[in-house]
Amino acid sequence: MNDTPASGSSDRLDQLTANLARVEERIGAACRAAGRDREDVTLIVVTKTYPASDVRLLAGLGVRHVAENRDQEAGPKAAASADLPLSWHFVGQLQTNKARSVVRYADHVHSVDRLRLVGALSGAATAAGRRLGCLIQVALDAESGTQGERGGVAPDGVDALADAVAAADGLRLDGLMTVAPLAGAYAGQPRAAFDRLMEISSRLRETHPAANMVSAGMSQDLEEAVAAGATHVRVGTAVLGVRPRLR
Ligand SMILES: *Cc1c(COP(=O)(O)O)cnc(C)c1O
């Protein structure tokens, strides 16, 4: 077996095992520091740009949540992993014409940021007979009434979108997502950004109590997200390695 690709895959398994253990340690330490239970934070491993074989290895290591940001890549990868006990999260900017494809494999879409997308996802989920979990993506650096450069709705647009998701057939309003802004008042201040997201989440839960998912924190800032109260962290690089290209 040593000359087959299996030997390479055992190196990869060792690498993923070690990386996952380090990330698990970081999440555990952040939970202890914040006085939170480890079970209250879910790790989502972002597998974008990495092959389905990595998804399979991760599932074998106990990973249960994976995320992708491009439908063209995610669809085939999810199909190749259909036998694995995984939840798929879609976290990228989403065009309405991809909604039909995404609802086939995604359990959650974290990047709901405009009414047209709510309509497209609702129609697609209903046609597929599925109920899709939706998170509103908040662009903390976007001006009132606009969208963020990397997707997301400005904070003052959250309520209207949340109401639309909650009222839409085939959709379930699960919570909020953000990416720490690279520009604007929150640049370099992930903790302040995530605290702001938590405030918006608390207000949202006054009218939508079940919308309690808070998706925040990536490889660089997962500690700040756990400290602020995130329920889901989305970690790519720290588990899989530095991606060959920026996406
Ligand atoms: C790629 C990506 C992540 C993971 O980022 P890392 O820095 O690799 O951990 C998290 N969230 C979103 C929306 C992403 O696109």
Instruction: Tell me the pLDDT tens digit for each residue of 131-157.
Output: 999 999 999 998 888 888 889 999 999
Using CA atoms, how far residue 216 sits from 53, 225, 240, in Å, is: 26, 6, 19
Which band of pLDDT confidence, cut at 50, 70 and 90, is reported for residue 32? very high
Residue closest by Cα to atom 11 of ligand 1: 234
Residue 147, pLDDT score? 83
Question: Residue 172: is its pLDDT beyond 50?
Answer: yes
Residue from 218, 222, 233 whose mutation best tests the ligand 1 pocket (most atoms within 8 A of CB)? 218
pTM comes to: 0.95
Question: Residue 3: is its pLDDT beyond 80?
Answer: no
Residue 245, pLDDT score? 65
Yes or no: say if 65 and 20 are a contact pair by the CB < 8 Å rule. no
Phi and psi, residue 67, nearest 5°:
-135, 150
213 strand-pairing partners: 175
Question: Residue 247: is its pLDDT beyond 80?
Answer: no
User: CA–CA separation, 233 vs 29, rounded Å?
Assistant: 14
User: CA–CA separation, 13 vs 58, rounded Å?
Assistant: 8
Segment 212-245, tens digit of pLDDT? 999 999 999 999 999 999 999 999 999 999 997 6
User: CA–CA separation, 172 vs 162, rounded Å?
Assistant: 10
Residue closest by Cα to atom 10 of ligand 1: 234
Residue 1, pLDDT score? 35
User: CA–CA separation, 206 vs 208, rounded Å?
Assistant: 6
- Find the mean pLDDT for residues 96-115: 98
User: CA–CA separation, 56 vs 81, rounded Å?
Assistant: 7
User: CA–CA separation, 97 vs 120, rounded Å?
Assistant: 8
